[in-house]
Amino acid sequence: MNQPSILKIPLPMLKLIASSSRIHRVHPTVLRPAHDSASPLLRVLSSLVGLSWRNTNVGGRYFFCSGSSDSSDRVVDAGVQAADESESKASAIVPTYPRPEDYLTVLALPLIHRPLFPGFYMPVFVKDPKLLAALQESRERQAPYAGAFLLKDEPEADPSAVSSSDTDKNVYDLKGKELFNRLHEVGTLAQISSIHGDQVILIGHRRLRITEMVSEDPLTVKVDHLKDKTYNKDDDIIKATSFEVISTLRDVLKTSSLWRDHVQTYTKHIGDFTYPRLADFGAAISGANKLQCQQVLEELDVYKRLKLTLELVKKEMEISKIQESIAKAIEEKISGEQRRYLLNEQLKAIKKELGLETDDKTALTGKFRERIEPKREKCPPHILQVIDEELAKLQLLEASSSEFSVTRNYLDWLTALPWGEYSDENFDVTRAQKILDEDHYGLTDVKERILEFIAVGKLRGTSQGKIICLSGPPGVGKTSIGRSIARALNRKFFRFSVGGLADVAEIKGHRRTYIGAMPGKMVQCLKNVGTANPLVLIDEIDKLGRGHAGDPASALLELLDPEQNANFLDHYLDVTIDLSKVLFVCTANVVEMIPNPLLDRMEVVAIAGYITDEKMHIARDYLEKTTREACGIKPKQVEVTDAAILALIENYCREAGVRNLQKHIEKIYRKIALQLVRQGEMIDATVEPIKENIDSDEFGQNTVQNKNSELVEGSDPEKEGETSDKVDKVQTDLSSDESQCLEVAKESEEDKEIKTKTIEKVLVDESNLTDFVGKPVFHAERIYDQTPVGVVMGLAWTAMGGSTLYIETTLVEEGEGKGTLHPTGQLGDVMKESAQIAHTVARAILLEKEPENPFFANSKLHLHVPAGATPKDGPSAGCTMTTSLLSLAMKKPVKKDLAMTGEVTLTGKILPIGGVKEKTIAARRSEVKTIIFPSANRRDFDELAPNVKEGLDVHFVDDYMQIFNLALGDDQSQNIERVINVL
């Protein structure tokens, strides 16, 4: 009886097998020598392949050996050798007992990546020490067989995805029933060829099916040996399918060298070629996923197995075609680039021989020297020294080295900067005043500061750079005034925004050692503007970020310090730059957000916002004119009344800036443009029928005769003679061409008259303003004409400007010892503390004024600040809260048209507040006549423009008792009570 046998596998071949880390392709290298009497299928495959028989050593993880479907199967040496060498080593065959079909209980080996097909090698890694020991013991007992079964994917896993190392580790942890449930039922009886460490070399023999589990650790299962279903070798369908598989293999051979090696080795060493083996071979060496291969392994019907394999091989054919097209495209691209490179090198050599052109390094050096030569006299000595050193270094470097490109870029930046080049400044104060007034209305403080700067520069003969910070709410013109300043000074303008900037390298530059290194923004600015004294606008400086790449606010200290920026050091250039002549203008919405060390280096100019009168002038003189031109509308086509603009400002655009006002004006003019275009289309539609009434003769010429004949026919008999005389005269005086021109001219004039008469002027007034901008957004901030008892108007500052707010206090319940205060209105911690302080101060004053009144001791009070959805915080509402509490306690309303602001202490002192201009503007908007400010804010109020202070009665107080007398004094309260009684 012939028994399966195995040859010793050489160590180099095992190393080659172990070198592969993942199954992708199958390399059939270990096959039995072919018999002379090869099967017809083998002869067909050999004739189709048409390759020379040559020995090929192919390494891989999945190898072909002789199939073992019956007792005559045997395994040969793992190395690919000639037939005579294989026969000479026949004495090394070691018999194994018993036969493979006698194994009905086997150890279960899980396969992760692909199933093992009969007749193929596969190395697997066994991490379970118990399983590895059992395999070693089985091999030593001369029973080296185990069952190799493919693992099922997890239910949520994607079978087409490549498994990661983490997934492999999880699979290795599976044991017992859990592992048994994850195994496919059909696997392969595998001979254990060799074991090296945790790597086991398996050789597939025949198909198995798991019937039940015997033991869990290591997993042992009972199996049934499966045999292929009987089939007719002479069946035409099976033959045709197998020949189609072979034909597809032949097509793949033309494009894939890897498959060519597979089939060449297969046809040289395989014997007893059968249809089942052809199906297994095609599936095993294809690139299909593991589930498709498992489907082929489980199929026992030979014809169906051949069909499945044919699908896989056809798919492989398509992949090979795509691979071939990709390789061809890349090869053409590479060959074209190589050809171009060779031709360029030859061209350079020819030009160098003829003296027509120098090499790259010489040309670069000449370009840099030519660029720096005009600036050499003005350039600082230390800069010239660095440039000369880098030029000498450039000559020594190879053009292909990375250091060469770094040095070239460095020299490019060094020589491109405007060393010592300054633009001629204009110190004409009158001209500057005119330019600033042209671009902006109001902003007296800012304009005065710029004129002072120009005057100092004129007296000194030179201007020293300063750092001016324009602070104010959005839309007041901070950014645009920077452009006007640059135009007034005749300086170059450069703007960069630092809002959200979190990388110090944006300001100080990168180190040159980094890939893609660049200088900072200031060096880029100097290169762009071409002068060393530009005006640099640093926008949104209060919104600096802070990330992992450093603190940009600290990096700006050197840039904005007048004592340090004369020697500003950029990390990329690594040489000092003089920025002392640069005029820096910064913009910020909230100065408190700027770090104090940075704020200390700036001169802050506050822009509080615009009052209604200023907004009217801006809308008329700037916004409306610009918007009308941008929309292509002529002034005579539209009229926007002053009442409409006033309503737009008060009901839609109350914020401090004018950006929202500009948006609404643009909205109005867009709707007007649409209205004008629609009217024009309607006129065109009515004019067309009139033109069609013009008759033309057969030559296409309009004739006066036809037109006049119509007039004659339609006229009265008495006038026929007169009309005919006129017609004859026209016919004799005018030729046909002249009459045509006259007729067309008349028609065009008539069209123009019709259009001029039809297109009406669009009028926008207060009555139809809602048709253009919708319903009003704001309503009157003033809720009460006369504030009732317990209600006082306060003044608040916001980032969008100033606003008025009411503080209301009411009695909840009274009872012995129930004196508490409950504040609401989304108040911050500081404002809640102000409410408690106000409660204490009010109790003390009430005790002094009315000792017998136990109101605060026995009353539960509720203090509320309306607009509860708006967060509010700050101490400046202290005096307003105190007045509200006292008004309720004494049952006296405060004076009419009175608003107040100020922080109150426990002793009744009034401390200064901020935002005087914004609060004053808010009071004027609400038609408040009397304002109470702390005495410390008198200077701030005096600095306001006269039109802002006009018509206001302002009182400055140090102690709360002064507010008490102004708001709740006897004379005022009696007068108010009289007015109320009369009403």
CATH of domain 100-225: 2.30.130.40
Return the structure tokens found at 707. 């037109």
Predicted local distance difference test score (pLDDT) of residue 782: 64
pLDDT in the model for residue 885: 92
Catalytic residue among 521, 615, 917, 919: 919
Question: What is the pLDDT at residue 934?
Answer: 93
* 479 is annotated as contributing to ligand binding: yes
The answer to whether residue 980 scores a pLDDT higher than 70 is no
> What does the pLDDT average to over 832-861?
89
Say if residue 225's pLDDT is above 50. yes
Catalytic residue among 194, 834, 876, 884, which?
876
Question: 613-773 adopts what CATH topology?
Answer: Helicase, Ruva Protein; domain 3 (1.10.8)
Residue 475 labeled ligand binder: yes
CATH 3.30.230.10 occupies which residues in the chain? 791-980
Q: How many percent of the chain have pLDDT more than 90?
A: 8
- Rounded Cα distance between 791 and 793, Å, is 7
For residue 493, what pLDDT is reported? 92
Q: What is the pLDDT of residue 263?
A: 61
Give the mean pLDDT of 255-277.
62
Amino acid identity at 2: N
HSE-up (13 A, CA, CB side) for residue 79 = 13
Specify the fold of 791-980. Ribosomal Protein S5; domain 2 (3.30.230)
Q: Which of 370-374, 694-698, 733-737, 776-780: highest mean pLDDT?
A: 370-374
**Residue 473 annotated in ligand binding:** yes
**Who wins on pLDDT, 691 or 137?**
137
Q: What is the per-residue DSSP string for 813-835?
A: EE-TT--EEEEESSB-HHHHHHH
- pLDDT tier at 1 (50, 70, 90 boundaries)? very low
pLDDT of residue 66: 42
- Check residue 722 and give its pLDDT: 44
- Whether pLDDT at 735 is above 60: no
**Residues contacting 751, CB < 8 A, separation 6+:** 687, 690, 691
Q: According to the model, what pLDDT value does residue 261 have?
A: 63
Rounded to an integer, what distance in angstroms lies between the CA atom of residue 205 and that of residue 107?
A: 15
* Residue intervals in the chain for CATH 3.40.50.300: 429-606
- Helix ranges (H only) for 693-813 are 704-713, 720-733, 736-758, 770-773
Closest CA relative to residue 646, chosen from 756, 532, 765, 735? 765
- Residue 876 annotated as catalytic: yes
Is pLDDT above 60 for 669? yes
Rg (CA), the chain: 49
Residue 49 among known ligand-binding residues:
no
Which pLDDT does position 47 carry in this prediction?
46
Both structure tokens of 733? 């005086």
Distances (CA, A) of 412 to 11, 374, 914: 60, 15, 51
Model confidence at 686, pLDDT cuts 50, 70, 90, reads low
pLDDT for residue 266? 54
pLDDT band for position 267 (cuts 50, 70, 90):
low
- Cis peptide preceding 473, ω within 30 of 0: no
Would you say residue 132 has pLDDT above 70?
Answer: yes
Least confident range from 427-431, 463-467, 782-786, 977-981: namely 977-981
Q: Is 476 annotated as a binding residue?
A: yes
Domain with CATH 1.10.8.60 in the chain: 613-773
Q: Kindly write down the DSSP assignment for every residue of 115-183, as one continuous string.
A: PPPTTEEEEEE---HHHHHHHHHHHHTT--EEEEEEBPPPTTS-TTSPP-HHHHHHHHT--HHHHHHHB
Q: Is residue 946 annotated as involved in ligand binding? A: no
CA separation (Å) from 663 to 440, 475, 771?
18, 11, 16
Fold held by 429-606? Rossmann fold (3.40.50)
**716 or 346, higher pLDDT:** 346
DSSP state of 759: S
3-state secondary structure 684-712: HHHHHHHHHCCCCCCCCCCCHHHHHHHHH
Give the model confidence (pLDDT) of 514-570 as tens digits: 888 889 888 999 989 888 889 999 998 888 877 676 788 888 888 888 888 888 888
Please give the distance of CA 608 from its chain centroid, rounded to a whole number. 34
Across 234-241, average pLDDT: 83
Residues of the chain with CATH 2.30.130.40: 100-225
Q: Calculate mean pLDDT across residues 758-775.
A: 82
Q: How much is the average pLDDT of 491-502? A: 88
Q: Across the chain, what does the average pLDDT equal?
A: 76
> Across-strand partners of 220?
107, 215
Average pLDDT score over residue span 277-289 = 78
Identify the pLDDT of residue 881.
93
- Token pair of 948, please? 């802002």
pLDDT, position 884 = 92
pTM, two decimal places = 0.53
Lowest mean pLDDT among 218-222, 535-539, 576-580, 945-949: 945-949
Range of lowest pLDDT (457-466, 504-513, 742-751): 742-751
Lowest-confidence pick of 508-512, 565-569, 613-617, 795-799: 795-799
CA 172 to chain centre: 42
- Render pLDDT for 477-487 as a digit per residue (tens, 0 to 9): 888 888 888 88
Report pLDDT digits (tens) over 611-659: 778 888 889 888 888 898 888 888 888 888 888 888 888 888 877 788 8
Out of 217-231, 233-247, 582-596, 743-757, least confident range: 743-757
Q: What is the pLDDT of residues 81-120, one digit of tens each?
A: 333 333 333 333 344 456 777 778 888 888 888 898 887 7
pLDDT given at position 566: 83
pLDDT at 15 over 50: no
* Backbone dihedral angles phi then psi of residue 813, each to the nearest 5 degrees: -160, 160
| Contact criterion met (CB below 8 Å) for 769 and 649 | no
* Position 244 confidence tier, pLDDT thresholds 50, 70, 90: confident
Phi and psi angles of residue 692, each rounded to the nearest 5 degrees, phi first: -70, -20
